[in-house]
A = this chain, B = another copy of it.
């Protein structure tokens, strides 16, 4: 029953998205293309707002994060270093009878194309053993199509940040701890795209790589490493924070962000990955989940990735990824010998662990780890990283699902009507204000309404609408999620009460309450409420 309700809610949402121009199927007139979705006029604005707010929150409002805008196609060696060429795959089974290809873990739930009464696992078709199917889209760069020109569409935006780490460090006047943020498209050739835009083949990510000092460095400089003392936001970053503090900080910052754009904390869950689920290099990963109509699913993952990524690119590119830290160098000189040895040893073991897990030959790994630990003693290290990685499309879908509500109203003739109100936080609403002349055939009203529109437009997204009854126009804006409607009426013209001249009615989407505001105070009045 609960499931049926969810399906019904989801169907209504998908239908609204199409009907109001939030989301269409890509290439719909050609029958669509599975796993690809386009954003229509309202959807494009909603998505823009989400990305802008993330960028402002993560980059503009901070001193310690800068942006990057890298290409989707990169040198293929990037994806060898990142591990995607070898391990970013699903096991697939081919059926030699029907020529279908199926995910090995789904053959019990997918009907046989030739005999749909049976599942693929039960049908008589001869099947191959599972084989790894890489999820990266491939292409060829340059005029010749062969192995040498093979390239990939990035499956994540993160790697470009690691690859350009040194360039950014050297040109941005930043020092560790600092972060690099990027928003952009990524592609995964999902075998089974599903749940509307939630799991699609082309999607957009908002990723931050926040580079921090290894705990051994913090301890060498500050004598201790601050660790979380409980739950909740740990406050302003401090120099003695180790990776656990930074990780908790970013989890809490990200939840604050979601709250700031209208997702109630109660609709979010934190899920700590178990040791078995964690990638071998990850220290901890927290997924922030949202209660979608189709189930509670991931919006964002915040991973403490150790120094794995930069280390991989250092090994694969042969270009040093270490930073020099004069505080560390100075502090190291002052450390007692046994402390030095203890820190050297711990760092050595961490590096050795990384190297051996990454397949480096044992004898070579020992030598390399020793060199790394010796470098530490001279003030050099590869930064660790905390990675908050969010999906734009998922967030847009969560905002739509969260905003969706229905009201049933009975008019004075006794007719009842159920209509949709999208209760977006004003910050993300595609249109901030509707401007409505009471009547379209009164030139004075229309002239004044256009003045109001032109007054607001430099500051806010405005929708001007003069067709239909005022009630219908309110309803249309409710359905688009517009938080305020401004109506220009005869009072505005001063025809009834001179005191009301040059005032307008402002209607609140959620309460339907109306207040009168002076036109010259209107931009500030609205801006205060929608920012």
Question: A residues bordering B, Cβ < 8 Å?
Answer: 18-21, 24, 26-41, 43-45, 47-48, 55, 60-61, 63, 66-75, 77-78, 92, 101, 133, 137-144, 151, 153, 160, 163-164, 166-168, 171-173, 180, 185, 187, 189, 191, 201-202, 313, 316-317, 319, 453, 457-458, 461-462, 464-465, 467, 476
Contacts and interface: CB of A to CB of B under 8 A. Distances in A.
A138 B140 CA distance: 7
The SS class assigned to the A binding surface is: mixed
Nearest to A317: B29
Nearest to A66: B41
Contacts of A457: 60-61
A355 B44 CA distance: 34
A465 to B, nearest CB: 7
B164 A72 contact: no
Nearest to A103: B143
A187 B185 CA distance: 13
A252 to B, nearest CB: 20
Contacts of A41: 66-68, 168, 171-172, 180
A38 B171 CA distance: 14
B168 A26 contact: no
Name which of A139, A187, A189, A465 has the most chain B CB atoms within 10 A of its CB: A139
Contact of A27 (B35, B45, B163, B172): B163
Contacts of A38: 68-71, 160, 164
17 contacts: A21-B167, A24-B167, A27-B163, A30-B316, A34-B141, A36-B71, A38-B70, A38-B71, A38-B160, A41-B66, A41-B68, A44-B67, A48-B55, A60-B461, A73-B137, A139-B139, A141-B189
Contact of A166 (B29, B30, B72, B166): B29
Given A71-B26, A72-B202, A464 B139 contact: no
A171 B137 contact: no
